[in-house]
Copies of this chain bind each other. A is one copy, B any other.
């Protein structure tokens, strides 16, 4: 089963969105990536067409940009 991937940049908007997403989707179905501790994944997010954070990359490849915490350029 391909997991959804939730990228965020640990901003207040991001932290609240993570809590809300984990209320919606079973924890074993989503991989959480905090870009402050894992900068190598910024390139993965960019390749997945993520433009801002928080963002949920779905198993079908679509990206749900959720609210707005930071632009991807802010995190590079």
Contacts and interface: CB of A to CB of B under 8 A. Distances in A.
- Copy number in this complex? 2
Interface string A5-42: 00000000000110010011100000000000000000
A20 B60 CA distance: 9
Given A4-B24, A24-B4, A24-B24, A65 B66 contact: yes
Interface residues on A, range: 10 to 19
A48 interface: no
A19 B64 CA distance: 12
A58 interface: yes
Interface of A: 4, 16-17, 20, 23-25, 58, 60, 62-68
